Amino acid sequence: MKVENVSPNMGNFVSSLRDIGYSTRVAVADILDNSIAAHAKNVKIHLVAVAEAVFGVLDDGVGMSSLELVEAMRLATKGPSAAREKTDLGRFGLGLKTASFSQCKKLTVISKKSGEMSARAWDLNFVAEQDQWLLITPETTEIEDLPFYPELVRMNSGTLVVWQEIDSFKPSDIPDIADDLIKHLSLVFHRFLESRAGWNRINIELNGNRLKPFDPFHTKHPATQQLAVEKINIYDGTVQVQPYILPHHSKVSQYEYEQYATDEGYTQSQGFYLYRANRLLIYGTWWGLHRAIDAHKLVRIRVEVPNNQDKYWQIDIKKSSANPSPELRADLKRIIKKTTELGSRPYTGRGRKIEDKRTTRFWGLASIDGEIRFALNYDHPLLVKLQSMMAIQPQSLELLNFYLKGVQAYLPLNAIQAQLQQNPHKIDQASFLSVAEIRDMVEKMNTTDFNEEFNAEFIESLLGTELFKGDKELL
Full set of structural domains in the chain with CATH: 10-210 (3.30.565.10), 225-349 (3.30.230), 359-474 (no CATH)
As a whole number of angstroms, the distance between CA 47 and CA 55 comes to 5
Q: Contact 324/304 with Cβ under 8 angstroms? A: no
Residue pLDDT, tens place only, 399-446? 888 888 888 888 888 887 777 767 777 787 777 777 777 777 777 776
Q: Contact 162/53 with Cβ under 8 angstroms? A: no
The confidence score (pLDDT) of residue 91 equals 43
More confident residue, 376 or 55: 55
Which amino acid is located at 61 in the chain? Answer: G
Instruction: Give the sign of the dihedral formed by CA 69, CA 74, CA 75, CA 77.
Output: negative
Q: Contact 109/159 with Cβ under 8 angstroms? A: yes
**pLDDT of 149 above 80:** yes
Helix (H) or strand (E) holding 215: none
Q: Give 293-296's long-range contacts (Cβ < 8 A, gap of 24+).
A: 293/267, 294/267, 294/347, 294/417, 294/421, 295/340, 295/343, 295/344, 295/347, 295/348, 296/270, 296/340, 296/343, 296/344
Q: What pLDDT band is residue 322 in, cutting at 50, 70 and 90?
A: confident
State mean pLDDT over 129-144. Answer: 93
**pLDDT of 93 above 60:** no
More confident residue, 323 or 177: 177
**pLDDT of 352 above 70:** no
Where do the H-state alpha helices sit in 23-123?
24-37, 66-73, 95-101
Whole-model pTM: value is: 0.76
More confident residue, 137 or 423: 137
Q: Contact 348/295 with Cβ under 8 angstroms? A: yes
Which of 107-116, 144-153, 209-218, 353-362 bottoms out in mean pLDDT, i.e. has the lowest? 353-362
**pLDDT of 343 above 90:** no
More confident residue, 206 or 422: 206
Angle at 189 between CA 183 and CA 193, to 5 degrees: 100
The confidence score (pLDDT) of residue 435 equals 77
Q: What pLDDT band is residue 79 in, cutting at 50, 70 and 90?
A: very low
Looking at every residue in the chain, the average pLDDT score rounds to 84
| Close Cβ partners of 102 (under 8 Å, ≥ 6 residues apart) | 18, 19, 20, 21, 22, 27, 168
SS3 137: coil
Residue pLDDT, tens place only, 278-293? 999 999 999 999 999 9
Q: Quick one: how many helices (H) and strands (E) in the chain?
A: 20, 15
**pLDDT of 111 above 90:** yes
Which amino acid is located at 263 in the chain? Answer: D
